[in-house]
Structure 1
Amino acid sequence: MKNTHFHIKNMVCSHCAEVLEEKLSQAGFKIERIELGELYLSEALDEQEYGQLVNLIQDNGFDLIDDENSRIVEQIKQLIIQQVRSNTPMQKNLSDLLTDKIHKDYQQLSRLFSAVEGKSIERYFILQKIERAKELIVYDEKSLSQIALELDYSSQQHFSRQFKKETGLAPSHFKDIKENKRTSIDQL
C-alpha cells in the first residue's frame, strides 16, 4: 500500500490544482485536499492504483516527486511563486522566508537548489519576478511604478534596469510592443 500524501511537481497555480482535482475525481480517486504542490488522498493506494495515479498526473503535465531533495526544491519554488504572485510586499527577506517555512539552513537550501536546478535561488526569484512583470505589463492595468512596487523593487529605476538586463527591453518598450514574449513559469 502507498501512502496518502504526495508531492507534485509543476503545480504552479490554483487552476492547476483545480484541473488535477477534477481529473482525479473523474478517475475515482478520493481526494482529501489539494494544495499547491501537494495532494492528500483519503485512502491509501495499492500498486495498481498508484500506477494509475502516476499516469494520470503525468498525462496532465505534472510529475510526482519521490525523493526528499526534489521535494525541498519544489517547496522552494512554490514559496517563491506564491510570494511573487501574492501582490503583497515581503515582510522579510527571501532567505528568512525560506528558512522559516522549510526549517532548514539557508546555505543548505541554496546549495541544494543550485545543484538540482543549475541556478541560484536568487536567480530563480528574479526570473519569476520578471515573468510576473511581463504578465502585469501585458494586462495593461497598472503603471510601471505600481508594478515595481508590487514586485518589491526599491524603485522603478531598479525594476527597469533588472527588466532590461533580463529581457533586453526596457519595460516601457515591452509595453509598447506587447508581443508574446512571456515564458511559462514552470519553464524557468
Structure 2
Amino acid sequence: MKLLLKFDFTKVCNAVLEQRLEAHQLKYQQTAFGEIELLDKVSEEKLDLFYNDINDFGIDVVKDPKKIVIQKIKDVIVDMVFNEKDINVKTSVYLAEQLNENYSYLSNLFSEVTYTSIENFIILQKIEYTKILLTKEELSLTEIAFKLNYSSVAHLSRQFKNTTGITPSAFQRIIAKRKQIN
C-alpha cells in the first residue's frame, strides 16, 4: 500500500528540535524559526553530543556568520512560500523587515555565498511547492498561480518549464502514469 504524505515542515522541524533538546536536558527558548537560545551554560561536550544527535535528522548548527544570515534568508523564504504568508509588500521589503537588515546587503551576501540570487531561490521554492500542489491534484494550475501570487498562469508555466525542463501539464501526466503503475 502506498501512502501520500503531506508535511508541515515547520511543525516537523520544531517537533524534532523540541524532542532532541528535551532528551539532552537543554533548557531553551525558540527565538525564531530555525533559531533557539540556550538558557543555561552548556559544556562543549554536551553541545557536541547534541549537534551529532540532531545531525542524524539533517539538522546542522550553522556557525559561520555569513552562512547564518544566508540560512535565515532561506528560512524566511521557505516559510513565506510553503506556509502561504499573505504579504502585502514586495518580497525585498518583507525580507529586510524580517531580518532587520538592508535588502541590498542581504541580496549581495546571498549571491556571494550561494552563487545565485534571492529571486532565483524564491522561484525554485515556488516551483517545488507547485510540484507538491500538482501532485495532490486538489488545485488547478490557475488556482496554484493565484495562490503563489503569479501574474498569470502563463508566467508560472514559463518558470516551471525553465526550472524543470517540462511543462506543468507534462509533469501532471508523468505523476498520473506513476500512480497507475503503483
Normalising TM by the smaller chain, what interval? 0.7 to 0.9
Query: 1:52 Cα deviation (Å)?
Result: 1.6
Could you list the runs of 4 or more consecutive aligned residues of structure 1 that deviate by over 6 angstroms after TM superposition?
A: none
TM-score, L = length of structure 2:
0.84
CA 111–33 in structure 1, closer or farther in 2 if over 3 Å, else same: closer
Equivalent-residue separation in structure 2 for 1:32 and 1:110 (angstroms): 29
Query: 1:53 Cα deviation (Å)?
Result: 1.9
RMSD between aligned alpha carbons?
A: 2.1
Equivalent-residue separation in structure 2 for 1:172 and 1:101 (angstroms): 35
Instruction: Give yes or no for contact 2:29–2:37 (8 Å, CA) kept in 1.
Output: yes
Which structure is higher in strand share?
A: 1
Query: 1:88 Cα deviation (Å)?
Result: 4.2
Instruction: Give yes or no for contact 2:20–2:50 (8 Å, CA) kept in 1.
Output: no
Is 1:75 the counterpart of 2:66? The answer is no
Equivalent-residue separation in structure 2 for 1:45 and 1:88 (angstroms): 36
Match of 2:143 in 1: 146
Match of 1:57 in 2: 54
Equivalent-residue separation in structure 1 for 2:53 and 2:42 (angstroms): 14
Question: Residue type of the partner of 1:171?
Answer: P
Greater RCO (Cα-Cα under 8 Å, separation 6 or more): 1
Gaps of 5+ in 1: 1-11, 180-188
TM-score, L = length of structure 1:
0.82
Match of 2:180 in 1: none
Q: 1:132 aligns with which of 129, 132, 135?
A: 129
Query: 1:58 Cα deviation (Å)?
Result: 1.7
Query: 1:29 Cα deviation (Å)?
Result: 2.4
Q: 1:48 aligns with which of 40, 45, 48?
A: 45
CA 110–35 in structure 1, closer or farther in 2 if over 3 Å, else same: closer
Q: Percent identity?
A: 36
Matches within 5 A, 1:96-107: 96-107=93-104
Question: Residue type of the partner of 1:61?
Answer: G
Query: 1:160 Cα deviation (Å)?
Result: 0.8
Equivalent-residue separation in structure 2 for 1:142 and 1:49 (angstroms): 47
Query: 1:55 Cα deviation (Å)?
Result: 1.5
Count of residues in Structure 1 that have an aligned counterpart in Structure 2 = 170
